[in-house]
């Protein structure tokens, strides 16, 4: 296998690195620089036409793109510990929270990133007003997760899961673009401190 990676602050490759670290899976990697546009080079877009990291090339040449799909593959290779949940109910809850992170919190963060951040100022089609209008939506979404975490150690299940990984990487990327978790969201901040203390969070 060969894992096409990009360093922090890129959140999606980090999801896979944390997942693999939790599994104890060593991924041979090739780092692609996003600022240098290496992910748009013809040799990489021939493997992943979307020109995005991460991607995982298997020994038979198959390329799996999209971070959660890669993690699904790794879960199949190494089922323990189960990070997608065990049993029908828990697996459904993990999937529910995965979708909520990606549909509630990530879109406004992405809008602020693409349309307002200095690192994306050369991208075509930027609309500053749209980006700025999404800042309150980020805090609204964070309040939703804060309320959901009240009385819970982890987001989706009684043990650490991929849903925690997705939320951790998303919250940390939000902090990178200048939208940290507000001080009054104590449940989200306590959860963040717990999961950030896991050794895998440094992957």
Q: What residues pair up with 2 in beta bridges, in sequence order? A: 57
Total of domains in the chain: 2
- 92 and 71 in a single domain? The answer is no
Structural contact between residues 54 and 3, judged by C-beta atoms closer than 8 angstroms:
yes
Instruction: Give 15-31 pLDDT, tens digit per residue.
Output: 999 999 999 999 999 99
- 94 and 190 in a single domain? The answer is yes
Determine the distance from the C-alpha atom of residue 44 to the mean position of all C-alpha atoms in its chain, rounded to a whole number.
21
- 62 and 101 in a single domain? The answer is no
Range of the domain at 27: 2-77
- 155 and 131 in a single domain? The answer is yes
Any idea what the CATH number is for the domain that residue 133 is in? 1.20.1050.10
Instruction: Give 40-73 pLDDT, tens digit per residue.
Output: 999 999 999 999 999 999 999 999 999 999 999 9
- 122 and 173 in a single domain? The answer is yes
**What residues have CB less than 8 Å from 128, skipping those under 6 apart?**
115, 116
**Domain-embedded: residue 82:** no
Could you identify the residue written with the tokens 């599994």?
A: 23
End-to-end CA distance of the chain: 18
Any idea what the CATH number is for the domain that residue 72 is in? 3.40.30.10
Could you identify the residue written with the tokens 């800042």?
A: 135
Give the whole-angstrom CA distance, residue 191 versus residue 49. Answer: 36
Instruction: Give 119-130 pLDDT, tens digit per residue.
Output: 999 889 999 999
Q: Which of 31, 47, 77 is the last residue of a domain?
A: 77
- 62 and 152 in a single domain? The answer is no
Note the pLDDT of residue 145: 98
**Domain-embedded: residue 97:** yes
Instruction: Give 64-119 pLDDT, tens digit per residue.
Output: 999 999 999 999 999 999 999 999 999 999 999 999 999 999 999 999 999 999 99
- 154 and 92 in a single domain? The answer is yes
Which DSSP helix (H) or strand (E) runs through 42? helix 42-45
């Amino acid at each position: 296998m060969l894992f096409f990676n990009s360093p922090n602050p890129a959140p999606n490759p980090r999801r896979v690195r944390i997942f693999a670290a939790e599994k104890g899976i060593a991924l041979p990697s090739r780092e692609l620089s996003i600022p240098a546009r290496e992910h748009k080079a013809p040799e990489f877009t021939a493997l992943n036409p979307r020109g995005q990291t991460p991607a995982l090339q298997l020994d038979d040449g198959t390329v799996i793109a999209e971070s959660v799909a890669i993690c699904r593959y790794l879960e199949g290779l190494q089922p323990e510990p189960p990070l997608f949940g065990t049993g029908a109910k828990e697996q459904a809850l993990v999937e529910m929270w995965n979708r909520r992170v990606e549909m509630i919190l990530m879109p406004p963060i992405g809008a602020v990133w693409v349309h307002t951040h200095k690192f994306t100022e050369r991208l075509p089609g930027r609309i500053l007003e749209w980006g700025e209008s999404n800042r309150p939506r980020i805090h609204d979404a964070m309040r939703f997760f804060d309320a959901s975490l009240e009385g819970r150690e982890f987001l989706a299940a009684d043990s650490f899961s991929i849903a925690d990984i997705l939320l951790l990487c998303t919250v940390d990327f939000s902090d990178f673009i200048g939208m940290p978790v507000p001080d009054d969201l104590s449940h989200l901040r306590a959860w963040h401190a717990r999961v950030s203390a896991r050794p895998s969070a440094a992957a």
